[in-house]
Amino acid sequence: MPNIDRIEGYADELTAIRRDLHAHPEIGFEEVRTSGIVADKLTQWGIEVHRGIGGTGVVGVLKGNGSGDKRIGLRADMDALPMEENTNLEWRSTVPGRFHGCGHDGHTTMLLGTARYLAETRNFDGTVHFIFQPAEEGLGGARAMIKDGLFEKFPCDEIYGLHNAPNLKHGELAVVAGAAMAGADFFDITIHGYGAHGATPNNAKDPVVIAMTVGQALQTIVSRNVNPTEPAVLSITQIHAGSAYNVIPGEAKLAGTVRAFSDEVRTLIRARMRAICAGIASAFEVEISVDIRDIFSVLVNSEEQSKAVEEVARTVIEPGKVITSSPLKMGSEDFADMLHAVPGSYFWVGHDGSVPLHNPGFILDDKILPIGASMFARIVETRLPVTAHA
């Protein structure tokens, strides 16, 4: 069974919306134009609109036919990445240093397609909350909306989100019950040394050598401290120090990310990072400051809602192409925080993208817009059915 026909009929319009958003990318909490377009479209379709939830977040409220009081949340992220696009597409980014390299322009468009369809048909009994979230890319947009009272103002009994997946093929969809994506910390480590001439290291407390020691020592945490049966990653992704060939700098900075699936492992890694840095600071007689920030929770899909997604997917794509088990993903997703508050499920919609997410050459295939929109729409119609007497 295919996409919903009526949504398929919007395909050209959805593609136009998506390409316009793509050409005008905005990073986290700066989605002013994007959220304005979302709010205008929702209003145009007769959906009640609330703006400014968690900064630039938008929530649309739509009641269906009947008197049911069950509520479903559907969430799309709106932000782009602070990076250059490297494609020759006609609709490529017009903003330097801004790029929809994760396809959130597509997610926003899919949810708009669902909103229009449900507003026109209202073939469901209950309330749908369309949640357009800012700042998914590590800036805490989900937490900002929740802190702003998202689920008090717009209570949800269950909640759904999706992501495009260029690693899957067009026509495939994956949904995995249970823990599916890692929790993540970001960290900054600063070595406060003492600078001197490059020719007289004896007069310095060289933070570069100490940074290298810290970098090596941190790699023992996953390999030597974490239980080998538990997945974990510690990556140093930035090293900054110095500006001249003959100057030992006074300071060096390391930064990076930690990924793991359990609170115990995350706590262990943080404790070992602090202990190693304190030990090296003592050994080299310098100060080392360590700032570790919890950015993403572990994403846990509820059994019941994941089963529902699986069953709906079998009506939207070929049943044999619904994938229900996959290796754990060390990537993170801040929809995890919404799933901690409300049971729900997060799924991946495959497409024939040429390169991975976050690559400068990433291309979202517009052919999946009606698939994502149909998935959300059928989830609502399936989970909030209109009864004969409604």
CB of 246 to Zn ion, least distance (A): 41
Nearest CB to Zn ion, comparing residues 102 and 288? 102
CB of 310 to Zn ion, least distance (A): 22
What single-letter amino acid sits at 212?
M
Could you give the angle at which helices 104-121 and 32-44 cross, rounded to 10 degrees?
A: 10
Other beta carbons less than 10 A from residue 303's beta carbon: 11
List the one residue out of 169, 235, 248, 173 whose CA is nearest residue 208: 248
CB 360 within 8 A of CB 86: yes
Residue 100 phi/psi, 5° resolution? -80, 70
| Using rule CB under 5 A, residue 299 touches Zn ion | no
What does the block give as tokens for 345?
A: 């499920």
CB of 98 to Zn ion, least distance (A): 14
CB of 175 to Zn ion, least distance (A): 16
For residue 320, the 8-state DSSP code is G
Q: Which stretch binds Zn ion (CB under 5 A): 29-37, 101-109, 247-255, 296-304?
A: 101-109
What does the block give as tokens for 199?
A: 């020719």
CB 135 within 8 A of CB 79: yes
CB 265 within 8 A of CB 230: yes
Give the number of residues written for the chain: 390
Nearest CB to Zn ion, comparing residues 83 and 102? 102
CB of 139 to Zn ion, least distance (A): 11
In angstroms, rounded to a whole number, what is the distance separating the alpha carbons of residues 248 and 236?
A: 22
CB of 358 to Zn ion, least distance (A): 6
Q: Rule CB under 5 A: which of 55-94 touch Zn ion?
A: none
Nearest CB to Zn ion, comparing residues 83 and 342? 83
| Using rule CB under 5 A, residue 145 touches Zn ion | no
What single-letter amino acid sits at 313?
A
Q: How many residues bind Zn ion (CB under 5 A)?
A: 1
CB of 2 to Zn ion, least distance (A): 26
Q: Which stretch binds Zn ion (CB under 5 A): 97-105, 122-130, 141-149, 174-182?
A: 97-105
CA distances 186 to 202, 259, 299, Å, are 34, 9, 17
| Using rule CB under 5 A, residue 102 touches Zn ion | yes
CA distances 189 to 174, 213, 273, Å, are 37, 12, 10
In angstroms, rounded to a whole number, what is the distance separating the alpha carbons of residues 84 and 86?
A: 6
Nearest CB to Zn ion, comparing residues 55 and 207? 55
In angstroms, rounded to a whole number, what is the distance separating the alpha carbons of residues 179 and 301?
A: 6
Decide: residue 96, CB within 10 A, 0-12 exposed, 13-18 middle, 19+ buried.
exposed
Which residue's CB atom is positioned nearest to Zn ion? 102
Nearest CB to Zn ion, comparing residues 102 and 226? 102
CA distances 30 to 126, 127, 132, 133, 325, Å, are 32, 29, 13, 12, 36
Nearest CB to Zn ion, comparing residues 114 and 164? 164
Q: Rule CB under 5 A: which of 249-268 touch Zn ion?
A: none
CB of 32 to Zn ion, least distance (A): 20
Nearest CB to Zn ion, comparing residues 121 and 359? 359
Q: Which stretch binds Zn ion (CB under 5 A): 102-110, 193-201, 210-218, 381-389?
A: 102-110
Nearest CB to Zn ion, comparing residues 142 and 258? 142
CB of 63 to Zn ion, least distance (A): 30
Nearest CB to Zn ion, comparing residues 191 and 349? 349
CB of 244 to Zn ion, least distance (A): 36
CB 316 within 8 A of CB 129: no
CB 40 within 8 A of CB 143: no
Which spans of this chain sit near Zn ion (rule: CB under 5 A)?
A: 102
